[in-house]
Amino acid sequence: MQSLADTKLTIYGEQFTSRMLIGSALYPSPEVMQAAIKTSGAEIVTVSLRRQQTLQAGDDFWSLIKEMGLRVLPNTAGCHSVKEAVTLAQMCREVFATDWIKLELIGDEYNLQPDPIALLEATEILLKDGFKVLPYCTDDLVLCQRLDALGCEVLMPWGAPIGTGKGLLNPYNLQTIRTRLPHQTLIVDAGLGLPSHACQALELGYDAVLLNSAVAGAGCPITMAKAFAASTVAGRLSYLAKAMPQKEVASPSTPTLGMPFWHAN
């Protein structure tokens, strides 16, 4: 039987019950945002100083976030240079009174792919400045190994480009990262569109998923948030249970030994 510790998500020494992190942007209204986040059961919510919609801007938006009593994870969404990302991270630390930062540093506008070279440089600077960095990166093993070597305790490779909803485009790459970095807290961030995508990520052994568009952009964000919450639980339990081995040949689930034989007269 699994111990209670197996059900906890650990991020920089802090433990959480939910294995879903959720974003706060793109919802049709602040009320729907708040209801969807509560329904999701998420204990960590991402926020951006740059990309909140007008209807979510200002003191009213921050009040809604604070009312939920969740762990705030600021991000550097929209940054394209090391200097820009570091400056915004420092601003976030002042505004949100936290040394946690989701480091997002985009290198290409077409698919919003993170810039691996700049990401490594910014990560090193922020870690030395006392930040607890959660870098958003591609599913590149060597990049993840370099980020791990710098001292990151959490890595967040993408499943697919941001907002595409395509799910896990390269499960092999993600599985390889999991296998090669068994000690790391790994979170699939970006590209998820369906609860089944989140379930698959957890079944691969990933510790959690981070999503926004899949919930905020759904026809009913509140119901979708509930579906994703259930899928992360199912995926984690499936991983802990250890799936049956796949076979090339069919085998009966009911044994034939001892079955009666009927003889015609």
Q: In this predicted structure, what is the pLDDT of residue 246?
A: 86
Which letter, b or e, does each residue of 194-226 get, where b requires 16 or more Cβ atoms within 10 Å of its Cβ?
bbbbbbbbbbbbbbbbbbbbbbbebeebbebbb
Q: Which residues pair with 47 in a beta bridge?
A: 74
Is 69 among the annotated ligand-binding positions? no
Closest to 196 in 3D by CA, of 221, 220, 230: 230
For residues 216 and 27, is the Cβ–Cβ distance under 8 A? Answer: yes
Is 163 among the annotated ligand-binding positions? yes
The DSSP result for 208-221, as a single string, is EEEESHHHHTSSSH
Per-residue pLDDT of 137-154, as tens digits, reads 999 999 999 999 999 999
For the question of whether the overall pTM of this predicted structure is more than 0.85, the answer is: yes
102 is catalytic: yes
For residues 180 and 38, is the Cβ–Cβ distance under 8 A? Answer: no
Specify the residue for token string 């989701």. Answer: 102
Task: Please pick, among 66, 83, 102, 128, the residue that the annotation labels catalytic.
Answer: 102
For residues 157 and 174, is the Cβ–Cβ distance under 8 A? Answer: yes
| Residue 155 DSSP SS3 | strand
Per-residue pLDDT of 219-246, as tens digits, reads 999 999 999 999 999 999 999 999 888 8
Q: In this predicted structure, what is the pLDDT of residue 179?
A: 97
- Report the chain (265 residues): mean pLDDT per 10 consecutive residues: 61 95 92 94 90 51 82 94 96 92 93 94 98 97 98 97 95 97 96 97 97 95 97 95 88 66 58
Q: In this predicted structure, what is the pLDDT of residue 214?
A: 96
Q: In this predicted structure, what is the pLDDT of residue 57?
A: 52
Q: Which long-range contacts (CB under 8 A, 24 or more apart) does 242-245 make?
A: 243/203
What are phi and psi for residue 132, nearest 5 degrees? -100, 100
Q: In this predicted structure, what is the pLDDT of residue 3?
A: 44
Phi-psi label, residue 113: left if phi above 0, alpha if psi -120 to 50, beta otherwise: beta
Which two three-digit tokens encode residue 73? 């994870």
Percent of the chain with pLDDT over 90: 75
What are phi and psi for residue 156, nearest 5 degrees? -130, 75
Q: In this predicted structure, what is the pLDDT of residue 89?
A: 96
Is 231 among the annotated ligand-binding positions? no
Domains and CATH numbers, the chain: 15-241 (3.20.20.70)
For residues 91 and 122, is the Cβ–Cβ distance under 8 A? Answer: no
Per-residue pLDDT of 174-203, as tens digits, reads 999 999 999 999 999 999 999 999 999 999
